[in-house]
Chains A and B, each alone.
Chain A
Amino acid sequence: MADGDGNRDLATAFAARERWAFEEAYRQFAGLLYAAAYNVLGEAEDARDAVHDALARVWRSPGAYTPARGALKSFLTVCVRNEAITRARSQNRRTRLAVRLAAEPVEYDELRIGDPIESDRLRIALAALPEEIRRPLELAYYDQMTHVEIARALDAPLGTIKSRIANGLRRLGAAMRHA
C-alpha cells in the first residue's frame, strides 16, 4: 500500500510534528480511523473517543511515527484499532454486551453501510484461506483475542498460532491488494 508523493510529504511532516500535518492526516483518514474503532467497539461515542485518544497519544510521543514505519495511514489505523481493542478489553464487558444486544438493528444498519462489495472482498479472501490459517486470523481480527487466548482456544502451540496468523495476514493482504 504505497503512499503517493503527497502522502510521503505528509508522512515526513507528521514525523517532524508539524501541526498542519496532524490536521491534514485527521482530515484525510478520519473516516477510516473511525471505522477501525467502530468495528471493534460497536458504539459511536466510544469509537470517536478512541480515535481522538489514539491520535493524541501518537502526537504527544515524539518519535512514535517515522517514515521507516511505512504508510502513515496504516500506522494510524493500527494505532486506533489497538486503542479500541484496549478499551474493549478493559471496559465492563457485561454492560457493553447488554448495550449491543439491546441496540435496535436499524441503528446498526445505518452505521454499517460500507460498500458491500468491499466487505465481500474481505469475506471472499478469508474464505479462500485454509481453515487452520483462517480461524486464528478471524479470532484475532473479529474477536480481538490475544495470541495467547487464540492458542488456548484452538489448543495449539503459541508459536504455531503466531506463524499461522502471520502467514494468513500476508496472504490476505496480498489478496486484497491484487483483487
Chain B
Amino acid sequence: MIEHVGDDAAMYALGALDDAQRDACDLHASACPACAALLGQACDDVTAMVEADGVPAAPLRAKTLPRAGLGAFWPALAAVILVALLPASLLYRQNASVTAQLAQEDAMVSRLASSDHRTAKFGPMPGGHSARVMYGPTGSWYVVMVKGTRKPMQVAWMHDGEKTMLGTTRSLGEVAMLYLPQSHRMEKLALMDGNEVVAEANLAY
C-alpha cells in the first residue's frame, strides 16, 4: 500500500496522475478515511472549477443507461472505444508509403492552425453525415472534411457544367479528409459517391 495520498490528492482530482497511480490512490483511500476525505476535498475543488468554467448547453442525448447486469450497450460501446483508441500510427506503420501521408497530415493540421481560412458547408448530406471545406482566402489550398462516415468519397470541382476530379477522402478515424495543399480558386465543390453527386458546397471569397 502506498504512503498517505498527501499532495497527490490534487493530482488525482485534476487528472494529472496516470491510471496506475490513480488506482493506488483509490486502493489506499479505501482503507484510510483521512486520505479518502482529502481526495473528497480535492474533488470538491475541481468540481467547483468545472462548474465555474461554463457548462455547455447541449444536453446529454437520451441513451441507454448502463446496467449492473450488463446489456447490449457495453459490447457496442466497447467496440467503438476499441476502434477509437487504436493508434493510427500502429495501423499505418506497416506501410512504407505512409510516412509521406503522415507528413502531409501534419502539414494540413499546421496549415489549419496557423493560416487564416474560410469555411463552407456541403449541402444536406444523407444519413446524418456532415461535411465542410476549409480553404485559404485566395483558394490556394483546401481541406475537405467529412464527418460521420469512413467511406472514401470523391471530391470534384464543379465548373462550366463540368466536373474535374480533385481526389478522394481518406479515413482518419472519426472523419475522412482530403487535403489539397496547392490549388487555385474554385467556387463550387462536390462530394461524390461513385458517379453520383452527394452534396455541393459554394465557396465565397
Residues of A within 8 A of B (CB): 1, 17, 19, 22-23, 26, 30-36, 38-40, 44, 47-49, 51-53, 55-56, 59-60, 63-64, 66, 68-71, 73-75, 77-78, 81-82, 85-87, 90-92, 94-95, 97-99, 101-102, 104, 110-116, 118-119, 121-122, 125, 137, 140-141, 144-147, 150, 162-163, 165-166, 168-170, 172-173, 176-177
Q: Which residue of A lies closest to B111 (CB)?
A: A101
* Cα separation A73 to B44 with both chains bound (whole Å): 8
Known contacts A70-B44, A176-B49; decide if A99 and B145 are in contact (CB<8 Å): yes
B204 adjacent to chain A (CB < 8 Å)? no
* Cα separation A147 to B14 with both chains bound (whole Å): 10
Q: Is the CB–CB distance between A92 and B39 below 8 Å?
A: no
B29-74 contacts to A (CB < 8 Å): 29-30, 33, 36-37, 39-61, 63, 65-66, 68, 70, 73-74
Q: Is the CB–CB distance between B13 and A78 below 8 Å?
A: yes
New A-B contacts (10) at CB < 8 Å, excluding given A34-B60, A176-B51: A33-B60, A36-B50, A38-B58, A39-B50, A44-B56, A55-B66, A99-B145, A162-B8, A163-B7, A172-B49
Q: Is the CB–CB distance between A166 and B44 below 8 Å?
A: no
Q: List B contacts of A115 (CB < 8 A).
A: 54-55
| Closest beta carbon of chain B to A18's beta carbon, Å | 10
Q: Is the CB–CB distance between A166 and B7 below 8 Å?
A: yes
* Cα separation A8 to B198 with both chains bound (whole Å): 55
Q: List B contacts of A39 (CB < 8 A).
A: 50, 53-54, 56
B187 adjacent to chain A (CB < 8 Å)? no
Q: List A contacts of B65 (CB < 8 A).
A: 22-23, 26, 52, 55
B1 adjacent to chain A (CB < 8 Å)? no
B87 adjacent to chain A (CB < 8 Å)? yes
* Cα separation A83 to B108 with both chains bound (whole Å): 29
Q: Is the CB–CB distance between A141 and B14 below 8 Å?
A: yes
| Closest beta carbon of chain A to B69's beta carbon, Å | 10
* Cα separation A112 to B57 with both chains bound (whole Å): 7
Q: List A contacts of B96 (CB < 8 A).
A: none
Known contacts A23-B65, A70-B41, A98-B177; decide if A35 and B17 are in contact (CB<8 Å): no
Q: Is the CB–CB distance between A56 and B58 below 8 Å?
A: no
Q: Is the CB–CB distance between A71 and B43 below 8 Å?
A: yes
Q: Which residue of B lies closest to A26 (CB)?
A: B65
* Cα separation A49 to B60 with both chains bound (whole Å): 10
Q: Is the CB–CB distance between A102 and B112 below 8 Å?
A: yes
Pick the contact of A70 from B43, B52, B113 — CB < 8 Å?
A: B43
| Closest beta carbon of chain A to B117's beta carbon, Å | 9
* Cα separation A42 to B30 with both chains bound (whole Å): 33
9 A-B pairs whose Cβ atoms sit less than 8 Å apart in the complex:
A19-B68, A32-B50, A39-B53, A39-B54, A70-B36, A75-B40, A90-B85, A140-B16, A173-B42
B173-195 contacts to A (CB < 8 Å): 173-175, 177
| Closest beta carbon of chain A to B106's beta carbon, Å | 7
